[in-house]
Structure 1
Amino acid sequence: MTDTRPGRDALPTPSGAAGGTQPPATAVDRLRLIVARLYRQLAQASGDDLDLTYAQLSALARVQAHGPLRLGELAALEQVAAPSLTRTLRPLSAAGLLSKEADPSDGRSHLVSVTPKGEAHLERIRRQRSELLSRRMARLSPQDSAALLAALPALEQLLTEGEEPAPPAG
């Protein structure tokens, strides 16, 4: 019997790539749309009363995860220019979610850290988004739930893998 499920018509991977097959463009498009739409729905579910942008929430979470950071360190982690990061952080400081203090090891630098209000804000957003996702996952069939959970390591790998090098010019 032939497998007719969507995404089963994989193409050979270019030489040197890991995994052995490259997914068809239609499957890649579906995954991209699903991830984007799910993220939007999760973001709407948290009802962020401060109306923080994706960049602001990312920076706030990054500071929380890595402790007090210099602006340059945070900019490198977020892969943005320092002036852009400064504009991103300004509303977070104004809302009392981040604090900025002189770096004790270098008086010319500052360290940013998450305030207790920022910690509570992130926890509320995470809780609301997780509750929505949990409710939706509870409606899945046992087979679909198991398949989704089995895909977690592969999805996590997508987050950690670097970009492939660009092909040589010419």
Structure 2
Amino acid sequence: MTGPALDAATVARLRLVVARLYRQLAQASSGRDLTMAQLSALARIEEHGPIRLGELAALERVAAPSMTRTVTPLVAASLAARVADPHDGRSFLVEPTAAGRALLARIRRQRSELLARRIDALSAQDRETLSAAVPVLERLLADER
């Protein structure tokens, strides 16, 4: 590590602001009364699907039985569908339905619009600072040690 480390208070402030901002963005969009776990799973299914439940569970870092309980309501709501695994007739994959993709697109649009409005209210200097911080935040996200 080069340069000075952030002090504990700054780290705590960053953690709090990221958590609160995420919560506000989540509350600003309608997810059909889906849980955060269900929305996250649906987004992963869209990103990686068709996918086995075990692989999805690994990506979400939960146990396979938990993922089954998370995905079952998505299938019941026709947001995801079970499809036969072409390589293993005893197994199935899950993939998003058109309704699931549309829901995710609407939620992403609503959240982006809220964030864009808030960013537009910042000063030009603050917008530049925020823009410069995005790659740093992306590196924090990618570092899953």
TM-score bin (small chain)? over 0.9
* Structure 1: gaps (5+ residues): 1-17, 164-170
Which ranges of 4 or more aligned residues in structure 1 deviate by more than 3 Å? Answer: none
* Structure 2: gaps (5+ residues): none
Tell me whether 1:32 sits opposite 2:15 in the alignment.
yes
CA pair 95-19 structure 1, distance change in 2 beyond 3 A? farther
1:22 deviates by 2.1
Tell me whether 1:53 sits opposite 2:35 in the alignment.
yes
Q: 1:24 & 1:51 partners in 2: Cα distance?
A: 39
Question: How high is the sequence identity, in percent, across the aligned residues?
Answer: 63
Instruction: Note the aligned Cα RMSD (angstroms).
Output: 0.9
Q: Encode CA deviations 1:78-111: one digit per residue, 9 max, x unaligned.
A: 1111000000111111111000012011011110
Q: Encode CA deviations 1:41-90: one digit per residue, 9 max, x unaligned.
A: 10111122x11111111110011011200111111111111000000111
1:1-170 equivalences under 5 Å are 18-48=1-31, 50-163=32-145
Counterpart residue type for residue 113 of structure 2: E
Q: 1:148 & 1:94 partners in 2: Cα distance?
A: 40
Structure 2 partner of 1:166: none
The structure that has the greater radius of gyration is 1
More helix by share: 2
State the aligned residue count: 145
TM-score, normalization by structure 1: 0.83
